[in-house]
Structure 1
């Protein structure tokens, strides 16, 4: 779609321990993070919103641009006085009836989309690439207080008046590169796999996605699982998952032990796609529940919930305190969800969740620590059942 002239915008997500949600990580998508609107409304006093952030597989940093993501006042159709009083901020705020404060990068992203629409209205001859480059080039430079997001706040006026000058020709996009390599002959692509040029090997490997099983690929993929470049190993592991008849459980174990988080994530992805392996690979997943990469940890916990094996109960509970103390909302929530699915036991948050209280508020942290204590106490009552 980006190749057809559309400007693609996506929120990067609201959990600071993860790199991003899937749409925002795509190379052609403009990823949007947020800042918290201060009481005095001055940008220099804005704090960073705890949104997702990090470097993607294609070396793209997300978020690329920022907009207000907290202290946003919007119409809120309360259905009753009770619903109004139960909102975390509305009942103590000075806003008119029917309005309340909300938060999330899901609100920041539409602001960027609206900003782009304003720019296009003022500059109807600009391409989507020009609108995007104007937004990024004129965003207000990161101040020290939100420097961790490595992005600037949108400035519509500056973007409308941006002078592109002699615009530099951008490099080939990931999708266009994939299409170009797909058009090459099979012999050329297989020959490229033998190259000493890592970039050429990567492009050739990626071109085989969506192909039918090609027996000519089998040996090169086995070879490149040992390649010194982590991304070549990652793509090789992903391609092997397309051909489970070539992928032994021993190879899966090797992938899960790889020092690169990219490669280990490829292993988690492969296991997720092939339930026929679950019975043989369960024990190898246990260390991933505490993996140093929080993205791997998150997806490993989700996979544990799907596998639904009591073996996971103790390590899932063992990690709750760390997640709660470090305010890792996503991984904590997934651990609780996995435990509920495996055990059939549920502990509601205390204090209970109230709309508008904030994912990283003191109240939310208190609730997570309370749930951690209750899960640990429950485990003590189980005797040897979950050892």
Structure 2
């Protein structure tokens, strides 16, 4: 579940630095003259907010866990590209629990920070049924959004599935095409017709093979626009026990990805603190799905390179640090033992010293008594000497 967390973070950062600057088109109108990536509250009490770039405008319904999103592209007016970005889990104890439905607004928090001038991070956290759902969005001045899905269990929970969903809205009408590639790299195209069926694209546990490539898109030929996703680390979710497909709804489709990590249909108990996560890029714009497929290819190449070169180097550095720490810990333990031995010896010597000190220390009263005794003895001796001397003198006479 978390085996590629480090690589995912590194890849995410590299994508932000390498991918997004390539996507700027100067002919688009800027969001503001001062800044190109802007966060603004629509209603802070209701936790509604908006993010603008030079290319897109995203409106979030915060009271629904920030999962209800309206994304509009300036190049395609009056089109809502995305309706929903959420996580959902199922299990005998929790039923169907998501980051959107059945959430009290008091359990939703929204925070944001400007990492750089044109890099904005928005974190929407929602608590629901002992699961903490987090959607961390990264915006740059482009029409690409990086989303970090993360779900943390706040108690031991029996899960049968948990995963992430991406829901195109207006463009996913009847006649629109859902496109991806099969296990052999062949293009799969499904034309939406409102059948209200779930079409499986990749699920080896149900008889089909996983997808060959790391992207999925919805293309609407009537308006020549697309919305799609690129999974940065698909192996985290697209496994032998995963489902990748589309719900062909009456007016929209759900490009969904729901993972199952266990064979038992009754579920599996995951301990408190378990975290499930994934990263993906949301890409919207005018034109066909060719652009998102090209970006997916670039992401795969970057992922492969950093897995082979950078990640192995990083792991070597971590191993070296762990070895150095182990050695330092051993040295520390040795010094601690020596210190404890010296402390014991010191305490023993101090006890002996205190005993001798108590035995041979002269108090003020003892000193005064000795002085008085000495004076008396001196007087007596003086009297005796004086008496003897007087007697001797008297005898001589």
Question: Which structure shows the bigger proportion of residues in strand conformation?
Answer: 2
> Which bin holds the TM-score, normalised by the shorter protein?
under 0.3
Which structure is higher in RCO with an 8 Å CA cutoff and minimum separation 6? 2
Name the larger-Rg structure.
Answer: 2
